[in-house]
């Protein structure tokens, strides 16, 4: 016995996303225009001799330095060092953040005992711990990985926790009705329902983790992009120093876009505007 | 207002059934059921339902009608095994309910579909925790359920791409895919738009009567309660309890249109109007005082 289908589905979500993307495109356009205008003014001001070039090289010089970096072996070594540390630190932060976040968010006992300490740690400026960590772990990769991890883990953990707390009770009820219990409940319901929150946390954690890496290299290091930047600034090569800053901006933005892409791919059902994730 | 021809006392109903079918025990027996919710903040407790007694025979379609907040969902959740009784018990097939089981499935008012699963995977959710069903052949079962509710062609859609009515069809397919004996439906059409609601009422009536399932169907619509039910259990509030039980006695199949001119339908509707208006007035007086 069959029941005929009536009105076709309205693909409302798709339409909404299309509009949002058009709106975003307009903002991107405006942003590019503003940046170009600033660059033009900057170039003009330096060329006119209003600012000494030694302090602020014009964009054209920075661009030349940037292109020179791309063919330099030392740069790519530093790049590999920094990114390797960020990837390891971030991977650790994701595993620990998601697992602990799910456990604490899902278990009321853990939530009332452990969560306050997590918030306390989160609000502690971990940057202040950097010298201590470098003293304890040395000038190599370990201290950088530790800093990346420390900065990245809290947003991931706390976002995941918030996500697990807000899993719809009606989904949990439905799962119970259809016999889903114990680990299956975690795997089939809690984890996927929390995933968008975790991804939002990972996005924030990645940005902070990269900051941690560069900071570690600044404060005491023998390699990496931060170290190179510090060297350039120390030797008063402002064009190379600014080119390094450009490199970091590019890396950070590519990482964020990549995770944004991942969010849309892995959690297409999630409406970011209704999410409490920050 | 007394309407002895409408009211069918529980006892008569039960003895009639056992005499007719010689089965003995009804499929669902609700005995002196009470649920108290404790309020963590105030420390007090709220009597959601009290002294509920009801027997439902195998294959019967029972609608539960009452104003909102009178404990209908609470009552159904106890039968579903989601809420533990504070007093009394529910027996299904003679055995006390201690939790959810494959003999009972629920259709929720808010659909409660998994947004990350397609239609086909949401329907599969209804059988994937049952070892004997989730092996080979699950695909055919799931496809059959999808076709039964009229969703063929939408297997790969996500819930967010479907209208409310279609989402509830998914909820219905998920509930029937493992062929439970008992279907518990908590205002399944409450969030569906008015036009779709009327269409789906008739579809549910035809679907359920064809499969012979036992149904507890919660609603706050008088027309819906009469159109669908073999019997109507009217709830009263503060505390929630059974006010009366009516037998509809209207021939099936019923349709929204033909039933409007049925004398029995009109008689029941007027009676239920009076009963519910009394409840609503009482509730309003209570909340204002
Ligand atoms: N989990 C709960 N905790 C505390 N009180 C509840 C809970 N669920 C329902 N209630 C209360 O119990 C009463 C009955 O609710 P419910 O069963 O949802 O009624 P209905 O489904 O008829 O609208 C209401 O006063 C409601 O506020
Ligand atoms: Mg309800």
Residue A158 contacts by C-beta under 8 Å, 6 or more apart in sequence? A101, A118, A119, A122, A201
* pLDDT reading at B20 higher than 50: no
Q: Is B37 in the pocket of ligand 1 (CB under 6 A)?
A: yes
Helix intervals (H) in A52-187: 59-70, 73-106, 108-113, 115-123, 130-137, 141-165, 169-177, 182-185
Tens digits of residue pLDDT in B200-217: 998 898 888 888 899 999
Cβ contact, residue pair A192, B114, below 8 Å: yes
The pLDDT score that the predictor gives to residue B19 is: 42
* pLDDT reading at B282 higher than 90: no
Which candidate, B106, B69, B80, B73, places its Cα nearest to that of B28? Answer: B80
* pLDDT reading at B9 higher than 90: no
Tens digits of residue pLDDT in B63-85: 999 998 899 999 999 999 999 99
CB atoms within 10 A of CB B240: 25
The pLDDT score that the predictor gives to residue A18 is: 56
* pLDDT reading at A215 higher than 70: yes
Cα of B72 to ligand 2 centre, how many Å?
A: 6
Tens digits of residue pLDDT in B77-108: 999 999 999 999 999 999 999 999 999 999 99
The pLDDT score that the predictor gives to residue A266 is: 87
Cα of A44 to ligand 1 centre, how many Å?
A: 70
Rounded to a whole number of angstroms, the distance from the CA of B168 to the nearest CA of chain A is 12
Among B43, B45, B74, B185, the mutation site with the greatest number of ligand 1 atoms within 8 A of its Cβ is B74
Is A215 in contact with A127 (CB distance < 8 Å)? yes
DSSP at B7: B
Residues whose Cβ atom is located within 5 A of ion ligand 2: B 73
The pLDDT score that the predictor gives to residue B23 is: 54
Q: Map residue B105 onto helix, strand or coil.
A: strand
The pLDDT score that the predictor gives to residue A218 is: 86
Cα of B174 to ligand 1 centre, how many Å?
A: 25
Tell me the ligand closest to B48's alpha carbon: 1
The fold for domain A62-277 equals MetI-like fold (1.10.3720)
Tens digits of residue pLDDT in A241-258: 999 999 999 999 999 999
C-alpha B204/C-alpha B182 separation (Å) is 14
Residue A93: exposure state from Cβ atoms within 10 A (0-12, 13-18, ≥19) = buried
Strand B231-236 and strand B61-65: the pairing is parallel
Query: Which protein residue's CA is at the shortest distance from atom 2 of ligand 1?
Result: B37
Tokens of A14: 């798709």
C-alpha B2/C-alpha A244 separation (Å) is 89
Which candidate, B99, B103, B73, B105, places its Cα nearest to that of B172? Answer: B105
Rounded to the nearest angstrom, the gap between the alpha carbon of residue A166 and the centroid of all alpha carbons in its chain is 23
Alpha-carbon torsion angle B245, B247, B248, B250, nearest 10: 170
Tens digits of residue pLDDT in A68-121: 999 999 999 999 999 999 999 999 999 999 999 999 998 889 989 998 999 888
pLDDT range class, residue A197, cuts 50, 70, 90 = very high
Best to test chain A binding among B40, B97, B110, B114 (most A CBs inside 10 Å): B114
Instruction: Determine the Cα angle at B69 with ends B65 and B72, to 5°.
Output: 45
Q: Considering only A68-72, B13-17, B162-166, B284-288, which range has the smallest mean pLDDT?
A: B13-17
CB atoms within 10 A of CB A4: 8
Tens digits of residue pLDDT in A24-34: 888 889 999 99
Is B109 in contact with B145 (CB distance < 8 Å)? no
Cβ contact, residue pair B100, A178, below 8 Å: yes
C-alpha A20/C-alpha A103 separation (Å) is 35
Cis peptide upstream of residue A261 (ω within 30 degrees of 0): no
Among B73, B109, B186, the mutation site with the greatest number of ligand 1 atoms within 8 A of its Cβ is B73
Tens digits of residue pLDDT in B22-37: 456 899 999 999 999 9
Range of A185-189, B119-123, B246-250 with top mean pLDDT: B119-123
Mean pLDDT of B169-197: 94
> Rounded to two decimals, what is the model's pTM?
0.81
C-alpha B160/C-alpha A4 separation (Å) is 21
* Rg value, chain B, Cα: 19
* pLDDT reading at B6 higher than 50: no
The CATH number assigned to the domain with range B6-103+182-284 reads 3.40.50.300
The pLDDT score that the predictor gives to residue B77 is: 97
Q: Is B45 in the pocket of ligand 1 (CB under 6 A)?
A: no
DSSP H or E segment with residue A139: none
CB atoms within 10 A of CB B123: 31
Mean pLDDT of A122-130: 85
Mean pLDDT of B8-15: 42
The pLDDT score that the predictor gives to residue B14 is: 40
CB atoms within 10 A of CB A108: 10
Q: Map residue B24 onto helix, strand or coil.
A: coil
C-alpha A268/C-alpha B115 separation (Å) is 9
Cβ contact, residue pair A9, B166, below 8 Å: yes
* pLDDT reading at A14 higher than 70: no
DSSP one-letter string for B224-244: HHHHH-SEEEEEETTTBEEEE
ipTM: 0.87
Best to test chain B binding among A10, A14, A171, A174 (most B CBs inside 10 Å): A174
Is B83 in contact with A237 (CB distance < 8 Å)? no
Which residues in chain B are closer than 8 Å to A264, comparing Cβ atoms?
none
Which residues in chain A are closer than 8 Å to B125, comparing Cβ atoms?
174-175, 178, 180, 188
Chain B: residue whose CA lies nearest to A4: B150
Region label for B193, one of left (φ > 0), alpha (ψ between -120 and 50) or beta (otherwise)? beta
Alpha-carbon torsion angle B163, B165, B168, B170, nearest 10: -60
Mean pLDDT of B234-247: 92
Rounded to a whole number of angstroms, the distance from the CA of B176 to the nearest CA of chain A is 11
Which candidate, B126, B81, B128, places its Cα nearest to that of B100? Answer: B81
Tell me what the pLDDT averaged over chain A comes to: 86
Region label for A181, one of left (φ > 0), alpha (ψ between -120 and 50) or beta (otherwise)? beta
Q: Is B70 in the pocket of ligand 1 (CB under 6 A)?
A: yes
CA distances from B159 to A18, A142, B144, B167, B168 (A): 19, 46, 19, 6, 10
Tell me what the pLDDT averaged over chain B comes to: 87
CA distances from B25 to B28, B41, B88 (A): 8, 42, 17
Cα of B31 to ligand 2 centre, how many Å?
A: 21
The pLDDT score that the predictor gives to residue B2 is: 42
Range of A10-24, B100-114, B236-250 with top mean pLDDT: B100-114
Residue A230 contacts by C-beta under 8 Å, 6 or more apart in sequence? A217, A218
Alpha-carbon torsion angle A182, A187, A189, A193, nearest 10: 140
Residue B252 contacts by C-beta under 8 Å, 6 or more apart in sequence? B205, B209
The pLDDT score that the predictor gives to residue A20 is: 62
Which residues does residue B185 pair with via DSSP β-bridges, in sequence order?
B107, B217
Greater confidence (B9 vs B44) lies with B44
* Rg value, chain A, Cα: 24
Mean pLDDT of B175-195: 93
Best to test chain A binding among B84, B160, B197 (most A CBs inside 10 Å): B160
pLDDT range class, residue A6, cuts 50, 70, 90 = very low
The pLDDT score that the predictor gives to residue A271 is: 63
Q: Map residue A253 onto helix, strand or coil.
A: helix
* pLDDT reading at A272 higher than 90: no
Instruction: Tell me the backbone φ, ψ of residue B182, rounded to 5 degrees.
Output: -120, 130
Mean pLDDT of B35-49: 86
Q: Considering only A90-94, A237-241, B223-227, which range has the smallest mean pLDDT?
A: A237-241
Maximum CA extent, chain B = 61
Residue A268 contacts by C-beta under 8 Å, 6 or more apart in sequence? B158
The pLDDT score that the predictor gives to residue B40 is: 75
Domains of chain B, by residue range, sit at 6-103+182-284, 112-180
């Amino acid at each position: 016995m069959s029941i005929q289908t009536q009105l076709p589905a309205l693909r409302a979500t798709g339409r909404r996303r299309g509009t949002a993307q058009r709106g975003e495109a307009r903002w991107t356009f405006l942003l590019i225009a503003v940046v170009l205008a600033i660059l033009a003014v900057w170039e003009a001001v330096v060329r006119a001799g209003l600012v000494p070039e030694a302090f602020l090289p014009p964009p054209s010089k920075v661009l030349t330095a940037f292109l020179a970096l791309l063919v330099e072996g030392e740069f790519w070594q530093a790049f590999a060092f920094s990114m390797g540390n960020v990837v390891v630190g971030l991977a650790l932060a994701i595993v620990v953040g998601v697992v602990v976040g799910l456990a604490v968010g899902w278990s009321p006992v853990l939530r009332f005992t452990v969560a306050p300490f997590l918030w306390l740690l989160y609000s502690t400026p971990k940057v202040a711990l950097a010298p201590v960590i470098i003293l304890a772990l040395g000038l190599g990769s370990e201290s950088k990985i530790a800093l990346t991890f420390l900065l990245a883990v809290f947003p991931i953990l706390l976002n995941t926790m918030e996500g697990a707390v807000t899993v719809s009770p009606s989904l949990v009820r439905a799962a119970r009705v259809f016999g889903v219990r114990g680990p299956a409940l975690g795997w089939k319901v809690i984890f996927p329902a929390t995933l968008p929150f975790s991804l939002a946390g990972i996005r924030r954690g990645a940005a902070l983790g990269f900051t941690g890496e560069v900071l570690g290299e600044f404060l005491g290091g023998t390699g990496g992009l931060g170290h190179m930047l510090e060297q350039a600034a120390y030797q008063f090569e402002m064009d190379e120093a600014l080119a390094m800053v450009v490199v970091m901006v590019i890396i950070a933005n590519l990482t964020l876009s990549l995770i944004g892409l991942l969010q849309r791919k892995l959690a297409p059902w999630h409406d970011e505007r209704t999410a409490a994730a920050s | 207002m007394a309407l002895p021809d409408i009211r069918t006392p529980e006892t008569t109903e039960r003895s009639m059934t056992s005499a007719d079918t010689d089965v003995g025990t009804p499929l669902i027996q609700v005995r002196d059921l009470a649920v108290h919710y404790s309020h963590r903040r105030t420390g007090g407790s709220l009597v959601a339902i009290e002294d509920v007694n009801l027997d439902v025979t195998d294959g019967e379609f029972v609608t539960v009608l009452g104003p909102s907040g009178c404990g209908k969902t609470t009552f159904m959740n106890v039968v579903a095994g989601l809420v533990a009784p504070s007093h009394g018990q529910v027996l299904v097939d003679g055995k006390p309910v201690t939790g959810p089981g494959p003999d009972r499935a629920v259709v929720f008012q808010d659909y409660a579909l998994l947004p990350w699963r397609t239609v086909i995977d949401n329907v599969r959710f209804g059988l994937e925790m049952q070892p004997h069903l989730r092996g080979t052949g699950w695909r055919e079962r799931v496809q059959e359920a999808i076709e039964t509710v009229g969703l063929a062609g939408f297997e790969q859609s996500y819930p967010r791409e479907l209208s409310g009515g279609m989402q509830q069809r998914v909820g219905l397919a998920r509930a029937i895919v493992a062929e439970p004996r008992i279907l518990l439906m908590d205002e399944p059409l409450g969030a569906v738009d008015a036009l779709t609601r009327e269409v789906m009422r008739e579809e549910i009536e035809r679907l359920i009567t064809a499969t012979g399932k036992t149904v507890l169907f919660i609603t706050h619509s008088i027309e819906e309660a009469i159109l669908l039910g073999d019997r109507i259990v009217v709830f009263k509030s503060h505390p929630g309890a059974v006010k009366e039980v009516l037998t509809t006695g209207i021939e099936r199949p019923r349709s929204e249109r033909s039933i409007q001119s049925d004398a029995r339908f009109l008689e029941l509707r007027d009676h239920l109007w009076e009963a519910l208006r009394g409840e609503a007035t009482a509730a309003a007086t209570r909340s204002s005082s």
